[in-house]
Amino acid sequence: MPHFVTRRRLCVSPSTLLVVALAGLSGCAATPTAEPAPAAASSVVEPAPISPPAVGGYTDADRALDLESFDYTWNRIRDTHWDPNLKGVDWEGARAELRPLVEAAKSRDDTRAAIRKLLSRLGESHFGLLESEAYASIEEGDAGDGPGGGDSSGGGGRPESTGDAGAPSVPGGPGFVGGTRVTKPRAGEAGLELRPMNGLAVIIRVWPGSGAQAAGLKPGMAVLRVGDTDLTARLGRAQASVPDSSLKALMLVGAISSVLEGEVGDALRLTVADASGAEFTRTLVLRDPPGEGVKVMNLPETHVRMETSRLPSGVGYFYLSIFLDPARVVPGFVSFVRELRGAPGLIIDLRGNPGGLGVMAMGMGGAVVRQNDLKLGTMTTRGSEIKFVLNRRSGAFAGPVAVLVDELSASTSEILAGGLQSLGRARVFGATSPGLALPSYIEPLPNGDRLQYAIADYVRTDGQRLEGVGVVPDQPVTLDRAALASGVDPVIAAAEAWILSQAGATRTEGER
């Protein structure tokens, strides 16, 4: 999963989108040639100082950096692709054809075009060239808006001069203020989740006990400004500057969420509009994230939110913010499922969940199947094959299962949702997931751009690839601002209605 870097700062920390963290699969993942074993499926390797393009003209020094970048790209993919034969692509021939284009380049754009042609020969998603300049443009204008929202004494957000407030990030990183929080010392949580809707940053969820709830914020409200930062304008810049791809939704959410970060006790001054358009201001004080922080290998401390409840209809509801903390989450899920005996059904909410430890999909999936040795799918790396096998657990749930996904449900979320869907064990609701199931690296190139490349392939039990396709819901459901404002989550409501409609049906599928 890509991690984007601007000229100023890393927009997404290396722990951000943990697209199938191979650590945790009992060490069975292959290590890419000349690459450290990934602690998580996505990794960012920070460079030595990079020379930017010369101002006022393209120089021989620029061209030399571009040639190094082309060569690095060609070598990296040759050495790490899961198929040593690169699926029959004439890689040597591609180099002979395209490298001269870089040698004759008149601008950096000529080099980028050559590298993109090289990557296109693979015919795969998750291989791309990322221009840092494109993402820096999201921030343009914020400096003129004021100090990024102010400071704790002034009722705004953190100052832009800290380098933390201005750059976009995505769920799981420092700028994500929803279910998942990767912490810095005393990093606070706003306790709400935002999504773009019709050009506005709309609240879709407010967590109980959070600063957002204390401030009177509710789903369906739109956050217009944070301090002096115009969130609507920021979203518009992001819409215009971020390329269309399966990653765009992640970047847009990051762009509007990153301004809500800060330390515990910081006060954010928000200008908000309700569903009728009436505007008002609220002061939101950042609070400690809930629960204990979790450390996984070299990743920053992360707070994992797990919620269990019974809807008034009796349907079980389980929410997970990120696939980490297996010692707590997997037993907690299994225990909750066992308590649902006789319940009409189970909803597993993975919306906004960026992924994490792949082994957790197997542990949780085994609690909702009634047959041994079913498989969610298979991941293939160079020299190894990882089968996501489900072994049923005692007291496995036999009733209808609904899984909720959206454009931010990546990696392990896609493996669990798509795997259960392919087995006919779950019906999926919501929006198509981003199709970011492969472990990949983002590395800096000598010329300052970033190279994204995948090191494995993943196929569901039914033979369908998730990468670049995503999990397509059996029942697509769109979030609606008016419904949210009335207290109804349309996706949960649709899943619950389906489960209740199955009450009189046989449970043939549920007994699998």
Stretches where the chain sits below pLDDT 50 are 1-55, 135, 144-184, 505-512
Q: Same domain for 402 and 485?
A: yes
Q: What is the pLDDT of residue 447?
A: 92
Q: Same domain for 318 and 237?
A: no
Q: Same domain for 216 and 333?
A: no
Burial of 219 (0-12, 13-18, 19+ CB in 10 A): buried
Total domain count, the chain: 2
Give me the CATH number covering residue 165: 2.30.42.10
Q: What is the pLDDT of residue 292?
A: 72
Under 8 Å CB-to-CB from 508, ≥6 apart: which residues? none
Q: Same domain for 167 and 276?
A: yes
Q: Same domain for 339 and 462?
A: yes
32: in domain = no
Per-chain mean pLDDT for the chain:
79
Q: What is the pLDDT of residue 35?
A: 37
Q: Same domain for 402 and 254?
A: no
63: in domain = no
Q: What is the pLDDT of residue 295?
A: 76
CA dist., res. 472 & res. 97, Å (int): 38
CA dist., res. 296 & res. 434, Å (int): 24
Q: Same domain for 192 and 324?
A: no
Q: What is the pLDDT of residue 511?
A: 39
Q: Which of the listed residues 285, 315, 346 is the one where a domain comes to its end?
A: 285
Q: What is the pLDDT of residue 56?
A: 55
Q: What is the pLDDT of residue 150?
A: 36
378: in domain = yes
421: in domain = yes
Give the tokens for residue 416.
């669990």
- Residue 269's domain comprises 136-285
Q: Same domain for 356 and 470?
A: yes
Q: Is the dihedral of CA 12, 14, 15, 19 positive or negative?
A: positive
Q: Same domain for 267 and 400?
A: no
CA dist., res. 441 & res. 498, Å (int): 39
49: in domain = no
Q: Same domain for 281 and 311?
A: no
Q: What is the pLDDT of residue 111?
A: 96
Give me the CATH number covering residue 344: 3.90.226.10
The rounded radius of gyration (Å) of the Cα atoms in the chain is 23
Rounded to the nearest 10 degrees, the angle between the axes of helix 60-80 and helix 91-103 is 170
204: in domain = yes
User: pLDDT tens, 194-237?
Assistant: 999 999 999 999 999 999 999 999 999 999 999 999 999 999 99
35: in domain = no
- Cβ 235 vs Cβ 255: under 8 Å: yes
Q: What is the pLDDT of residue 454?
A: 86
Q: Same domain for 218 and 310?
A: no
State the amino acid at position 41 in one-letter form: A
Q: Same domain for 375 and 475?
A: yes
C-alpha angle 181/386/414, rounded to 5°?
40
198: in domain = yes
State the amino acid at position 223 in one-letter form: V
Cα 144 off chain centre by: 30
